[in-house]
Structure 1
Amino acid sequence: MKATVGDRLIVEGTYGGNLRREGFVVGVEHADGSPPYQVRWLDNGRESLVYPGPDARVVPGHR
C-alpha cells in the first residue's frame, strides 16, 4: 500500500455493527509512501497514526 498527503484512506467495517471509516492522509512517514500514515478522520476530525490492515484501501486524491 502506498499513499501521499491528500489521499483518502477507507477502512471497511469487518465486525458486526462496525461501519466504514474514512479519513484524509495528512502525513506520510516514509518517502516511498508506505505506512504508517497520519490520518484525519472525517467522523470526528481527530488525527491518528495508522498502520492500515487488509480491510483498508487508499483512494488517490487530486494531484
Structure 2
Amino acid sequence: MHAESGDFLVIASNRLEAPPRVGLIEEVHGADGAPPYVVHWEEDDRTTIVFPGSDAHVEHRGADAGASS
C-alpha cells in the first residue's frame, strides 16, 4: 500500500448496509508511503494512527487523480 498526505484511506464495512469508513491521510510514517498513517476520519472528526488491513485501499483524489504515470 502506498499513500501520500492528502490521499484518502477507505476501509470497507463488515456489514452490507453500512458505508465504508473514509478518512484523510494527514501523515505517512512508513518508508516509501507505507503505513502507519495518521488519518482524520470524516464520520466522527477523530484522528487516529492506522495500520490498514486487507479491507482497505488508498484513493488519490488530488488534481492529478486518474493521470497515468
Establish whether TM, by shorter chain, passes 0.5. Answer: yes
Structure having the higher helix fraction is: 2
The runs of at least 4 consecutive aligned structure 1 residues that moved more than 3 Å come to 15-19
Residues 1:43 and 2:38 are matched in the alignment: no
Query: Percent of pairs identical after alignment?
Result: 37
Larger Rg: 2
1:7-22 to structure 2, matched below 5 A, reads 7-15=7-15, 18-22=18-22
**Paired residues, what number?**
63
Structure 2 residue runs of 5 or longer lacking an equivalent are 64-69
- 17-26 or 4-13: which moved more? 17-26
* Amino acid in the other structure paired with 1:19: P
RMSD, aligned CA: 1.6
- Under a length normalisation based on structure 1, what TM-score does the superposition of the two structures give? 0.87
1:14, distance to aligned residue in structure 2 (A): 1.8
Give TM-score scaled by structure 2 length.
Answer: 0.80
- Structure 1 residue runs without a partner (length 5+): none
Q: Work out which structure has the larger RCO, using CA pairs closer than 8 Å and 6 or more positions apart in sequence.
A: 1
